[in-house]
Structure 1
């Protein structure tokens, strides 16, 4: 460690403040540099000069993971052929780590140089030893795709919830008809029939023909579905006729947006599968060997974990994902309800929970575990049971990846 240069870079959109320390906490450099390609070249030059001037043989660089702004400089430094000679390690850390570490310094001002100093000192005291170094361009590319997929998934979910509000106003019993409220037949029904009375006044045979045509004869008995639709229509609330046109316009718009998001999701999934090829292939095969974990979810998990060696236990992996629960205890009192921390990597947490939801469908052990946890409480049953199932899945994932074994 006494031959190591410790660099902290406080990243902003327009500039990066670079602070360099040695093991004795001597300030070797404090400079503000533009966040540009030329600026990255200059940072590289400064680091090489310091390594030569002070006869240092290693360099550790720490940046906060601040969205896209830290990606370019982290990629440039980690891939530098000149710095690779000095065993450079670049770390992107959660801002909460530096925020908590700052608390150990009493009355310190919050400025760019001080922020960069905090990051450099985190490297100096070895707080990054448990983390995985930044993997460079390939991981960044995969991470951007998998994280964008979550972005699209959230937009899609929000739009569906919003659309269902208008669906309820137009056709209050609509959700009792189809298992998928946004399947092709369900959507065609909402768009084709402008009012509830249009459905009620339609003959059962015409409605059955509509269902058969829209579903391309996927239903075994279109006449039964048509009867179910008419019953739901009769049991629904009626609106004044003047209300239907605005609601239909809003619904049509939402359905177009939903279709657009679904199309984009398919394209993103294809891009993820292209990008993940060759990225830690062994771990990718291990993850996809677990029943229910498809290729896209495996890619999302892999993009966030990066290197399993940074975790010394499945508890550490669970903590990294934020799938842990804080105790609520005082004296002899212990609260029945505890809340998931959610302070870890939200992207990893999303992919693990989605994978757990699929695992419970494909694996009897996980289905039974989910059901057991579901039956234990009367509130938040699905969310609680799914989160606990994800925690169980973490133990399996850690065991397989840390020993490099396929699921059997």
Structure 2
């Protein structure tokens, strides 16, 4: 029996916006203290005093503090306890746990009420029984960069949601223009439905009837003006636009003005999101250079990795020393698959866990797409190999497996602090 464990206190904290609840257990599961405290600086000093008092009374030499990573409510307390000089002598380890994991463990308790004290007890007991497999909290050095990269993802998702909503109104007003794919170059007058010229068509003309009845010369002049004379064949574009207008459904004339106002509002939001994305990209690049320049340069050496993708990965990984192997890093990202076996049967269909860090998984996925876009031979070949092997969900399967492969590369580069050297003589399976 490890003597250190016998002299360790296990503290479980149930966190919430205004107040927390803590339970302190010893190694044998005896509850030594339980108390609520406020989610502020004064409350944090209360739990620190309680832990040191119980440690002194029970002659404990170590303490493990565990809490769920519930939104942002646990951040300040976690950071405070990590930095606390009073707990330094107790070799304190602070853990932010995945709520899915602790919830599954607490479901094993039979006939227990769902209360703050019982939740705190369950978290403390989870730590006491050695169920924690994640790395302890290691400071807030990457928090500022993390807030930037996560905000960028929030803006990207908001932009996608706004574009999707705008298309519903565009379909109601100009049905044919909304359903034409940018890939339908022979029938679609615009390659980008949110480009400046298409936006002008949707907002300057009241209805498709106005476009259908307009003279060809008038439409050509309009497209040349709004497109800044960038169209190689404006006459062909004007004819396609009139054809789309003639094929679109018609509405009562009184409905077009409100629709135009709704569409214009969406376009204003889209422009605002685009502007803020450019601003935050600059802020991310500035922040990552001053924080972790070596790791940043290691990832930038991979062709296809830009400042934003590199910063997003660094912000979520933090210090690479937290992870003992690339398997640990993959599990942290949720890029692992659970085996499904019973008796002699082993299922060929396995599902990705997705219980890890969704932000890291997002930026890894974006990195893979960037590698494919920039024609990285090694990863492009691997992606298409896995895509061709899949029977269904070809893209998702290939993307996930290529992301898992990329995890190995990222871990090796950051661990060894080295630049990327492309693999030579890779067969391009895509062709």
Mark yes or no: TM-score above 0.5.
yes
Indicate conservation of the 8 Å contact 1:131/1:310, yes or no: no
- After TM superposition, the score normalised by the length of structure 1 is 0.87
Question: Residue 265 of structure 2 corresponds to which residue in structure 1?
Answer: 253
1:213/1:353 Cα in 2 relative to 1: closer, same or farther (>3 Å)? same
> 2:137 maps to which residue?
134
Moved more, 397-406 or 100-109: 100-109
Q: Is the contact between residue 146 and residue 316 of structure 2 (CA under 8 Å) also seen in structure 1?
A: yes
1:170 corresponds, among 168, 173, 180, to: 173
CA distance in 2, matches of 1:237, 1:336: 48
Q: After the TM superposition, which of the residue ranges 90-99 and 361-370 deviates more from structure 2?
A: 361-370
Equivalent residue, structure 2, for 1:78: 82
Match of 2:398 in 1: 385
Tell me the distance in 2 between the aligned counterparts of 1:142 and 1:221. Answer: 46
Is the counterpart of residue 151 in structure 1 residue 154 in structure 2? yes
Match of residue 424 from structure 2: none
CA deviation after TM superposition for structure 1 residue 235, in Å? 3.9
Q: 1:246 to 1:316 in 2, by over 3 A?
A: same
Distance 1:229 1:35 in 2: 60
Alignment of 1:202-281 (within 5 A): 202-281=214-293
CA contact (8 A) 1:132 1:306 kept: no
Corresponding residue number in structure 1 for 2:410: 397
Q: Is the 8 A contact 1:71 1:140 kept in 2?
A: no
- State whether structure 2 residue 94 is matched by structure 1 residue 90: yes
After TM superposition, give the deviation of residue 85 of structure 1 in Å: 4.3
Question: Superposition pairs for residues 16-165 of structure 1, below 5 Å?
Answer: 16-128=20-132, 130-165=133-168
Displacement of 1:39 in angstroms is: 0.5
Q: Deviations over 1:112-144 (max 9, x none)?
A: 22222222233333333x422223333333333
Matching of residue 189 in structure 1 with residue 192 in structure 2: no
Q: 1:167 to 1:386 in 2, by over 3 A?
A: farther
Separation in 1, partners of 2:346, 2:169: 43
Distance in structure 1 (CA, Å) of the matches to 2:201 and 2:259: 14
Q: 1:401 and 1:150 mapped to 2: Cα distance?
A: 23
Query: How many Å separate the matches in 1 of 2:356 and 2:382?
Result: 24
- What is the count of residue pairs matched by the alignment? 407
SS in 2 for 1:18: strand
Q: Structure 2: how far apart are the matches of 1:225 and 1:289? A: 42
1: CA distance, partners of 2:279 / 2:89: 40
Instruction: Please report how far the alpha carbon of residue 379 of structure 1 lies from its aligned counterpart in structure 2 after TM superposition.
Output: 5.4
- For the residues of structure 2 that align with 1:244 and 1:219, how far apart are their CA atoms? 28
> Following TM superposition, by how much is the alpha carbon of 1:161 offset from its aligned partner in structure 2, in angstroms?
0.9
Secondary structure (helix, strand or coil) at the match of 1:134 reads coil
CA distance in 1 between counterparts of 2:245 and 2:339 reads 49
- Root-mean-square deviation over aligned CA pairs: 2.9
TM-score when normalising by structure 2 = 0.83
User: Which residue in the other structure is 2:428 paired with?
Assistant: none
Deviates more, 1:79-88 or 1:35-44: 79-88
Shift of 1:64: 0.3
- Asked if 1 retains the 8 angstrom alpha-carbon contact of 2:189 and 2:238, the reply is no
Shift of 1:7: 1.8
Task: After TM superposition, give the deviation of residue 38 of structure 1 in Å.
Answer: 0.7
Deviation per CA, 1:349-370: give whole Å up to 9, x if none: 2222122111111113323333
Q: Any stretches of 5+ residues in structure 2 without a counterpart?
A: 181-187, 422-431
